[in-house]
Amino acid sequence: MRLDVVTIFPEYLEPLNVSLVGKARARGQLDVRVHDLRSWTHDKHNTVDDTPYGGGPGMVMKPEPWGEALDAVIESGEGRPVIVVPTPSGRPFTQELAVELSEKPWLVFTPARYEGIDRRVIEDYAERCDVREVSIGDYVLAGGEAPVLVMVEAIARLLPGVLGNAESHRDDSFAPGAMADLLEGPVYTKPPEWRGRGIPDVLLSGHHGKIARWRRDEAFRRTTRNRPDLIERADPAAFDKKDREMLSILGWAPGDDGRFWRVAQDVEE
Ligand SMILES: C[S@@+](CC[C@H](N)C(=O)[O-])C[C@H]1O[C@@H](n2cnc3c(N)ncnc32)[C@H](O)[C@@H]1O
């Protein structure tokens, strides 16, 4: 997979040389190219921003450097990339979107600063490329570089051969399939006792069926506690008889449409 990042802070992307993404680059599984937007400016101050039309606080990133940068990046490769524009006003970045983007051969990220990029840039490239405006959460950061690091890590770990154990993302929270609407429950490792705390007996039982059930029950507990909205919007067809028993213990009951609603709040989570 090829990834290009156009930014005014190339050094902010240094973490892409480290750990999982860095190793994937070294092995040739990821071709990451970071570009300095200011190389496509032509004045002596390398200006990339200007005052907003209509007034108001802050500055807006000028369209010309972005246009030249994106044209150069696009012309340097085969076909058309997906352009990912980080912005707090975009669609939420989810595991589902990470999976979708991990299947694309080429992504170009456009992290902005100030009040964002002149709108015409997004409109212009949307005429010939798949452009995704994406938010990593309901808060506002000073720039899009940290969101790019977040998205690249989530995408890269899904690429074939990047994680040591290909199965390790199967049970992740939000993983498509059985975990799509559940958070992963607690995990434990050696030693078997630490500061007087043991680990649940079932994990020592060697009984795969019981362990799988315990993990799923714990996922229901944690999701009930931290993200009940996930259970409310889950497709009830995903829940088997044992899931429904657990949901009932946790105070959930199916409504008229079959979806689950929390009818009792004071039960043991
Ligand atoms: C200060 S923010 C601009 C905020 C803009 N005025 C707004 O309210 O939508 C500057 C840049 O940081 C990035 N950014 C900030 N918060 C983000 C978030 N939650 N998700 C993705 N990108 C974000 C985007 O690249 C954005 O253009």
What is the tens place of the pLDDT at every residue in 57-83? Answer: 999 999 999 999 999 999 999 999 999
Whether residue 174 has pLDDT greater than 80? yes
How far is it, in rounded angstroms, from Cα 144 to Cα 114? 10
Percent of the chain with pLDDT over 90: 90
The answer to whether residue 157 is catalytic is yes
Whether residue 183 has pLDDT greater than 70? yes
Q: Is the CB of 135 under 6 A from ligand 1?
A: yes
Catalytic residue among 115, 153, 184, 269: 115
Whether the Cβ atoms of residue 173 and residue 183 lie closer than 8 Å to each other: yes
Tokens found for residue 178: 């059985």
Residue nearest to atom 11 of ligand 1 (CA): 143
Eight-class DSSP state of 93 = P
How far is it, in rounded angstroms, from Cα 163 to Cα 8? 31
Which atom belonging to ligand 1 lies closest to the Cα atom of 117? 27
Whether residue 185 has pLDDT greater than 80? yes
Say how many C-beta atoms besides its own lie within 10 A of residue 159's C-beta. Answer: 16
Quote the pTM value: 0.94
Q: Chain centroid to CA 206: how far? A: 34
Residue nearest to atom 8 of ligand 1 (CA): 88
CA of 42 to the centre of ligand 1 (A): 26
Whether the Cβ atoms of residue 106 and residue 58 lie closer than 8 Å to each other: no
Whether the Cβ atoms of residue 3 and residue 29 lie closer than 8 Å to each other: no
Give pLDDT, residue 268.
67
CA of 86 to the centre of ligand 1 (A): 7
What is the tens place of the pLDDT at every residue in 21-62? Answer: 999 999 999 999 999 999 999 999 999 999 999 999 999 999
Q: Is the CB of 87 under 6 A from ligand 1?
A: yes
Give pLDDT, residue 173.
83
- H-helix or E-strand spanning residue 20: helix 19-26
Report the Cα–Cα distance between both ends of the chain, in Å, rounded: 42
How far is it, in rounded angstroms, from Cα 14 to Cα 40? 21
Residue nearest to atom 4 of ligand 1 (CA): 115
What is the tens place of the pLDDT at every residue in 147-165? Answer: 999 999 999 999 998 887 7
SS percent in the chain: helix, strand, coil, step 5? 40, 15, 45
Task: Name the pLDDT band for 166 (thresholds 50, 70, 90).
Answer: low
